[in-house]
Amino acid sequence: MEVTTTWYLVLAAVLFTIGAVGVLIRRNPLVLFMCVELMLNAVTLTFVAFNSALGGLGGQMAVFFALVVAAAEVVIGLAIIVAIARRQPTTAIDDFSGLKG
């Protein structure tokens, strides 16, 4: 059995759906950020699948920029979670409203 682009796209769709459902039902900030990262990885998998099917470097460049954005998101997200954890012993999504200036 040969693995085609369709298999990669189905896998990316499943990963994106799991991440989207996780974003909707979770209240823990760390799990929320992991679900968003899972969604970004699904999108990068789609870029790589189309890049391998069509050739060229456009998909690889898009993946590189998506990974840079994902790394920046992790740094900022963890900084926000640490800021909340220093102020309160428990962290929940509802605590983000306390960070307003």
More confident residue, 99 or 66: 66
N- to C-terminal Cα separation, the chain: 57
Entry pTM: 0.74
The whole-number pLDDT of residue 97 equals 65
The whole-number pLDDT of residue 16 equals 93
Answer whether residue 95 shows pLDDT above 70: no
The whole-number pLDDT of residue 79 equals 86
The whole-number pLDDT of residue 101 equals 58
Answer whether residue 32 shows pLDDT above 90: no
Nearest to 66 by CA among 34, 29, 38: 38
Q: Going by CATH, does the domain composed of 5-99 fall within 1.10.287.3510?
A: yes
Nearest to 48 by CA among 36, 38, 35, 61: 61
Q: Is 88 within 8 Å of 79 (Cβ atoms)?
A: no
Q: Is 85 within 8 Å of 74 (Cβ atoms)?
A: no
Domain ranges of the chain: 5-99
